[in-house]
A and B are shown apart, each in its own frame.
Chain A
Amino acid sequence: NAGVMQNPRHLVRRRGQEARLRCSPMKGHSHVYWYRQLPEEGLKFMVYLQKENIIDESGMPKERFSAEFPKEGPSILRIQQVVRGDSAAYFCASSPAGRGLFFGSGTQLSVL
């Protein structure tokens, strides 16, 4: 987990509100991945970004979900009009030039 910073750690939203999850990758890493873990499930790939580019969003739900990684600042995963089924742990990971991912501590999203 060293160096990948996610905030907030816990986020509570009511149905219909927006959720914004932030991730700062490890120093020197310019590749960011977002994964989601539903209860009793493994981690599922959502999206892969480099600075100012979405490289692979094949795991993102088609509606309400978006991600960005601007030139300056953290990567943002945005969920609009949240529903109860969005409740999950969302993990960000960054990657060095080699193989493998390093994960942050995650954001636990709870939708009431």
Chain B
Amino acid sequence: DQQVKQNSPSLSVQEGRISILNCDYTNSMFDYFLWYKKYPAEGPTFLISISSIKDKNEDGRFTVFLNKSAKHLSLHIVPSQPGDSAVYFCAASVRQGGSEKLVFGKGTKLTVNP
């Protein structure tokens, strides 16, 4: 039972264009959503997050949109740069008994071509 789904295993974008990474979830109890970026042989690096009380959060070139009714979130990167090439993980969270348990999608490999 996969509660967080990233249906595109890979995405290829031209430098300067917009990258849109998508994520769907099934558990309506999730109240906090995060995007992590991961390079090979490194740990995931926190990128941006959004609370369920918001529908948009922006940080520089990165914007996360949340559509609660559709249980869908997306990460927009604009303009895309070659250094953005990495695997992007969507994660969803709910606090239970003081525990912050993140549920991750399988990731989308983004390639930004020069």
Enumerate chain A interface residues (CB-CB to B < 8 A).
1, 4, 6, 31, 33, 35, 40-45, 48, 55-56, 91, 95, 99-106, 108
Q: Are B100 and A103 in contact, with the CB atoms below 8 A?
A: no
A91 surroundings in chain B (CB, below 8 A)? 43-44
Classify chain B's interface size. 20 to 34
Q: Are B106 and A101 in contact, with the CB atoms below 8 A?
A: no
Q: Are A55 and B97 in contact, with the CB atoms below 8 A?
A: yes
Indicate if B61 sits at the interface (CB-CB under 8 A): no
Indicate if B102 sits at the interface (CB-CB under 8 A): yes
State in angstroms the CA–CA spacing of A42 and B107 once bound together.
Answer: 6
Q: Are B106 and A41 in contact, with the CB atoms below 8 A?
A: yes
Query: Which of A41, A42, A91, A106 gathers the greatest number of chain B CB atoms within 10 Å?
Result: A42
B101 surroundings in chain A (CB, below 8 A)? 33, 45, 48, 56
Q: Are B43 and A105 in contact, with the CB atoms below 8 A?
A: yes
How close is B12's CB to chain A, nearest CB, in angstroms? 18
State in angstroms the CA–CA spacing of A97 and B57 once bound together.
Answer: 21
Q: Are B99 and A56 in contact, with the CB atoms below 8 A?
A: yes
Q: Are A56 and B97 in contact, with the CB atoms below 8 A?
A: yes
Q: Are A45 and B103 in contact, with the CB atoms below 8 A?
A: yes
Indicate if B66 sits at the interface (CB-CB under 8 A): no
State in angstroms the CA–CA spacing of A14 and B37 once bound together.
Answer: 32
State in angstroms the CA–CA spacing of A29 and B28 once bound together.
Answer: 29
State in angstroms the CA–CA spacing of A40 and B9 once bound together.
Answer: 9
State in angstroms the CA–CA spacing of A94 and B96 once bound together.
Answer: 16
Contacting residue for B100 out of A40, A43, A100, CB 8 A: A100
